[in-house]
Structure 1
C-alpha cells in the first residue's frame, strides 16, 4: 500500500543530509515505508534492535556498522541505513551522534521508533541540528485519495470511495485492520496490539509497575474519548494519586495510545484555561458513535497539524473552545500562534448550523468556521473558499487535509 510517507522519506533523503527521525504508533507502517526506500540506493541496510542478530551488529559500534553497510565503497548513490527501535540501545543518542559525525557525509540515515524518541532518555549528548523529526499517523481520508506531496497545506477536494470511508470509520486507520475489514480480525488485532503496548513497550521503560491499574486507566480513557479529563475522578476510580494519573497519561501519549488537546483561551470571553480533552489514536476503539465521529475528525486534524509542522509550512496546533457557560466548539486549528479555522463535528445533517461557530469565529479571528457532517454526501467544492460559517461534508473537508 502506497503511503504519503513514502514520498516524505524519498524527498528528505534525496534533499537533506540530516538524519530523518520517523516516530509513530506500533503497527502504523513505519517498517514498511522504511523498507520501500531501498530503491533509492545500491546499498540499503536495515538494522532492528529487536532482532537478535541485528542487535549484535549494533553493539559492535560505528566502524563495524559502517563496514557492514558499505559506507567505504564508492557508489553512484549514498548508502542508506535504517536504525529501527534504536532508542532501546543503551546511550542511543551518543551512539547516533558518533555515527552521524563520522559517517553522516557519506550515508543517509533513517531512525524509526514506536515511541516518541524523547521517552528514552538514556545517553546524554544532544542530537540538535543533526536530524529532522517526522510523525507518522494512521491512514486518513486524504491519504486514501492522494499520496503525493503538496506545495502548501490545503489540497483541492477529491472523492473517497464510500466503502473506504465507512471502513475507516469502523475499523480505524491502522493499515492491517483497514485492509482486512474483518470484525473478528480487528478485535484480535486490537487485543494483541494492546498487550504488546503494555507488556513490551511500556514495560521496557520501567516507569510503571502497576500494569493492571494502567489497563484500567486505558479502558476508562476509551469511555472518556472526546470528553474533558477529570484527573480527580480518575484518581478515585483507580485509587492512585492525581500525579500518578497525570504521569501515566503522559506515558500513554508517548506510546501513541491517546493524545490531549487543550482549550484555546486567547480572546475568548470566560474561556476554560486548563482542562484538556482526551482522544485515542485508534478511534475504532471508541464505542459511542458520536464520540467516535469526533475522535475520527480530531485525529485527522492532528495528523494535518503535525504533518504541516514537520514539513516546515509553519507551526500548527490543535485546540478546542469551551467557556464557563458550557458553550463549546470541538476544534480550533492554529497557524503560527493565531486561530486559523474552527470545526464543529456533527454525525448527521439534521441540525441548523451551530450559533457558536459565528460567535467564536468573531472572538478568535479565525478565517474559516466549518460544521463538518460525517454522513453528508461528498460535494466537489473547495471548503476553504468559504469564510463565513458553513456546513460541509466530512468526505469533502477531510479530503483537503493530509
Structure 2
C-alpha cells in the first residue's frame, strides 16, 4: 500500500472538512449580524447612543438586542469578539490550496497550453495575485471613491471581472475559479483582520481611556462588513465549482464567474431589503434565474483543447509498466464511458471533474486518482455501475505501487 498517497488524501479531506465547518461559523455569524443590523428599530425610551433595538425569539427564549453606533458610556467586563471564525476559514482554505493545488501543481494548477511555467513560478504567481488583490481593494476603499458606496462597488466589480479573465490566462480553469474565490475570500478576511477588528479595538481603548471614539472608525468597519456580506455567496459558488466542470471547464468560464457575482449581489439585496423591512423585491429572484439560464447556456459551448502536454518521467513509468495493458483495458471498460472527451454514459455531457481517461497519456497522468478512487476505495465507479471486479481493483493497486 502506498501509505503516503492514502494519508495525503485523508489530510486533504480533514482540512476540507475543517474549512467547511469554519466557513459555516463565519458565514452564519456574518449573515446574522447583517440581518440584525438591518432589522433594528428606533423606539422611544432607548438609552442614549442606542441607534435601535430588535426583539428576537429563539430556543424557547426572548432576546432584546441593542446597537450603539459608537459605544456605551461604560463597557461590560466581557465582550464577545467575532473574528476567529474568519481567520480559521482563511487559514484552513489556504492550507487546502497548498495541499491540493501547490502539492499537485502539475495536475491541478498548471495548464501548459495556457501558460508554460515551472511549479515554483506558478505558486509564486498564485501567492502574489492573492496578496496584490487585497492591496488594490484597500487602496480603492481608502481613495475618494470610497466615499460613494455605489460607485466603489461598481469599480470593484470591474476589477473582479478583470481578475476573472486574468486567472484563466494563468492557470487551469479549475484553479482559475478556485483562485478567484481565494482572492475574494482574502479580501473578506483581511477586512476583518486589518480594518474591522483593529477599529473596534481602538474604540474600546478610547473608551477605557475616557476619550470619545471617532465615529469614522465605525463607519469604515461597517462599509467593509457590507462588502463582505455581498461577496459571500459568489465565494461559496467558486469554492464549490471545482466539483462541476461545466462551471470552470468551458470557454466562457470567466464570464460565468462575472455573472455569478451579479447573482450573489441580487440574492443578498433581496434578503437585506426584506430584513430592513423595506419590501420584498421578488424581481431579484427572476433576474437571478435568468442569469443562471445564461450561465447554463454558456457552459454548453465546447472547450477545444489543443496542443501537447509534457509527459513526466513518472507518467512514463506508469505506461512502461508490465501491468499497463491490463490496466488500460480495465480503465477503458469501467471508467472511460464517463471519463472521455465525449462520454457515452447517458446523461453525462462532460467528463466528471474534467478528467478524461481515454488515452494512455491521460491514464498515466491520473494514476494516483485511479489508485485512490478505484483501487484503494470503491468510490469509483459510482455505485460500481460498470461492474468493476475486486481483481481489477487489486490490479490498479499493484500497477500504481510498483510503478510509483
TM over 0.5: no
TM-score, normalised by the number of residues in structure 1: 0.24
Which has the larger helix fraction? 2
Which has the larger strand fraction? 1
TM-score, normalised by the number of residues in structure 2: 0.24
